[in-house]
Amino acid sequence: MRAVSITAPGGPDVLTVLDRPVRAPGPGEVRVAVAAGAVNPTDIALREGGDERVPPPWVPGMDLAGVVESAGEGVDGLVPGDRVMAAVTPRRPEGGAQAELVVVPAASAAAIPEGATIPEASTLPMNGLTARLGLEMLALDPGATLAVTGGAGLLGSYVIALARAGRLRVLADAAPADEALVRGFGADTVVPRGDGMLDALREEAPGGVDAVYDTALLRRAVLPAIRDGGGLAVVRGWDGGPSERDIAINEVRVRTVLDRTDWLEELRDHASAGRIALRVAAELPPERAAEAQRLMHAGGLRGRALIVF
């Protein structure tokens, strides 16, 4: 089967398409004929740094959607022909999601949302689980105030939607052109992104917000917006140092929850009900994977670029 492949750490030119073997699903696994795999920042990190634990070539991708092609022993609830979405780690010998056939644990797959296309569904699993995990770690009570940075981005939009469903008061930043978009995701208040964001958040929450979910990678720069003893959820790492004023730092590592079937089903139900907007920015064949990563790296995408098979 064809797979997007990283031959060595480097720039986009190390991406190619290779024919790779694919094994049969084992007990508790399904093999999926992939129709679409979303391109995320984690794919760029794998391409730039590789993985010393796994020999190259590496297959990127954590999100996929397609049709169950076969199922292993002991799989309940999924049968060949089912349209599914799934989350998978690319840091394993057989690689990630951007391949024609991918074996995944059945626990990491769920039926796609009602009314969604298979490409749209491929944008949901990994970022949805990331949003869900960070909110669980913050453990805010209904009525608490959450600020979300990067409100117009895909992860930010999922955080906003889930926070609103959890009856939180949601503040989010956006450029003027994206204000209506971010309000549509469910933000109660939209503040300007950039230099004026902290002051605007303090105007809305004079004592500080209860927590920030930082999808824009601002990290320490957002601490002044948080009340004493509040929380910060960070993706893609923290510098390891202490925070300030007893603010709890929550490092969100989605690979720890890729098998949360219940969360995948919850995300599906939110999307089916229209509470989560699934956004596709571009659909590209595997031979144009370098272009897809360049689009992601450039920023400003309102959705995800997809690799389609």
Please check whether residues 161 and 217 belong to one and the same domain: yes
Residue 26 binned pLDDT confidence (cut-offs 50, 70, 90): very high
Q: How far apart are CA 289 and CA 61, in angstroms?
A: 11
pLDDT of residue 271: 98
Is residue 145 domain-shared with residue 225, that is, in the same domain? yes
Label residue 302 by pLDDT band (50, 70, 90). Answer: confident
Please identify which residue in the block is written with the tokens 């699993």: 125
- pLDDT at site 240: 84
User: Does residue 36 lie within any of the structural domains?
Assistant: yes
Is the pLDDT confidence value at 299 over 90?
A: no
Sorting pLDDT into bands at 50, 70 and 90, what band is 300? Answer: confident
Structural domains of the chain, count: 2
pTM score: 0.96
> For residue 25, what are the domain limits?
2-124+278-308
**What percent of the chain clears pLDDT 90, i.e. is strictly above it?**
95
Q: Is 169 a member of any domain?
A: yes
| pLDDT at 43 (0 to 100) | 97
- What's the whole-number average pLDDT of the chain? 96
Residues 188-234: tens digit of each pLDDT: 999 999 989 999 999 999 999 999 999 999 999 999 999 999 999 99
The domain that holds 145 is classified in CATH as 3.40.50.720
Q: Measured between alpha carbons, how far is residue 84 from residues 27, 66, 124 in Å?
A: 18, 6, 11
The DSSP H or E segment spanning 240 is: none
Same domain, 147 and 196: yes
Do 149 and 178 have their domain in common?
yes
Residue 159 has pLDDT above 90, yes or no: yes
pLDDT at 293: 96
Over range 299-307, report the average pLDDT.
Answer: 89
Q: What percent of the chain has pLDDT over 70?
A: 100
Cα separation values, 137 from 53, 134, 225, 254, Å:
28, 5, 19, 12
Please tell me whether residues 108 and 152 are part of one structural domain: no
Asked, for residue 270, whether it belongs to a domain, the answer is no
The reported pLDDT for the residue numbered 301 is 81
Which of 158, 148, 133, 107 minimizes the C-alpha distance to 278?
A: 158
72-102 pLDDT per residue, tens: 999 999 999 999 999 999 999 999 999 999 9
The number of residues in the chain equals: 309
Q: What pLDDT, on a 0 to 100 scale, did the predictor assign at position 3? A: 98
pLDDT band at 46 (very low <50, low <70, confident <90, very high): very high
User: CATH number, domain at 93?
Assistant: 3.90.180.10
> What is the per-residue pLDDT for 241?
86
264 is a domain residue: no
